[in-house]
Every structure is written in structure tokens, then in C-alpha cells.
Structure 1
Amino acid sequence: MFELDVRSRRPIYEQLTDKIKELILYGILRSDEQLPSVRTLSAQLTVNPNTIQKAYRELEREGYIYSRPGKGSFVSPAQQGTNAAKKAEVREELLRLMAEAVYLGFTEAEIGELFKQTSEKKGEEDQP
């Protein structure tokens, strides 16, 4: 389920956080789906349980997951437009990436096609 690069300069908990976000955004992990327990994931990845806990806390803080005492951690339902700060952060990152893409020679059509591919993929995930 997860692949972590132990030789990377990025902390393991950040890699794990990003991977879980990606799985949620691509619809692989769905709303209210239970995540592996800290102990289980720690054993699977051979990572300290505190690292897994730190990643889960960060995801919960950002609103991607929620926890139920005694039950575990679950994927939060999508909340369209409720997190203005996160939306502003993503917008800034997109502007930075788009400026880099334009600098590297991407055309408006190529960028539009990437948006279209992302939208189509999201539409497929929403299908039953």
C-alpha cells in the first residue's frame, strides 16, 4: 500500500502523510474507510509507531482523517469549500508550479489537458 524511501532527505512521516493524501485524493481510500492501525502500519513498514502516529495527527489536523477513540482512524468525508486556508495554500502551490511549467515551455493547451485528465479521473472515482 505504501512505499517509503528511507534514503530520502524528507522525513518518513511527511512521506507517509503525502502518500495517504494522494490515496484519498485519487479515491483509493474512500470517505469513512478505516486506515490501518498505528501498530499494524508500523509493523508493515518497519517504522517506529510514533512516526505513524505523527503522520496520522498531521492528517487529522489538516482534515483528511478523523479518529474515533477505541475504533481507529478513518478518512474524512470530502468537504467542498469548507477549508479556505487549505484552498489558498493549494492555489499558491499551483501558481508556483504553473509558473515553472510555463518557464519550461508548457503550452496553455498542455496545461489544460493536464487539468482535463485530472477532472476526468476524479469523475471516474465518483461513479458507483
Structure 2
Amino acid sequence: MNQALRHIGRTLAIALPVVLVLSGTLAVSRVSWVGPADDQMETASAEQQPLTPEDTLRDRLLLTLRQQDPSAALTGLQEAVTRDPSLAPHCAEIAQALGAAAVEKYGSSRRAQQHSRPVCDTSFAAGVAAAG
């Protein structure tokens, strides 16, 4: 099972940058390099969606993780969910994102896993495993 996951991870590690470069190249080739009209700029700014509370929390906790450590971010997540129970349905998703970011920060799932705690069940550990 671990070998299969590693194989999938390596395949994605090779294929994903290629896909991103190609899609970026296609996007750049389709951009109108003439400046947008004023009405187009107004439409674009009106279409931007404000960040949801869970997006704001996730972004803040990812910054905490990068500046401090995963333990501080997990503590922040637990405190936020306790303060605002409406964030509870998003807890697992945020914890998984923190797990993946911890692997990115430390470069190894073993080191990232040392910070695992039972915040939102085992979602942090699941994020570490998926990224590692």
C-alpha cells in the first residue's frame, strides 16, 4: 500500500508541474494584452467573492503554521471552533490543509506527524499522510 501511494505521489510530482506549465502557457496565450476597458474592470472586481470565515481562518492558521509550528496552528483551530461552532463542519478540511502544509514546511511526513493531535479527529494526520 505504501509503495502504491509513493508511486502515485511520484507520478503526481512529475505530472502536476507539467500540467500547470501547459495550462499557464495556454492561459497566457489567450490573454488579451490590450488594456481592459473600464467597464470590464468594474465587472471583474464585482465578481470577486469575499472570503468565507472558514477561508479566512484557514489562511490565518496556515500563516501561523509557517511562522511558528503546526502545534500553534492546531491550537488556534481548536480555539476557533470552540469560539464559533459554525466552523465545526470545516474543521476537518482545515486540519488536512494544515497537515499538508506541515509536510511542505518540514519536508518529511515523519517530522510533521510529530505535531499531530486529535483536533477534528485525525484530519491533520490524514493531511500529513496525503502530502507525504
TM-score interval (norm. to shorter): 0.3 to 0.5
**Higher relative contact order (CA closer than 8 Å, sequence separation 6+):** 1
TM-score (norm 1): 0.34
Which is richer in helix?
Answer: 2
Select the structure of larger CA radius of gyration: 2
Which is richer in strand?
Answer: 1
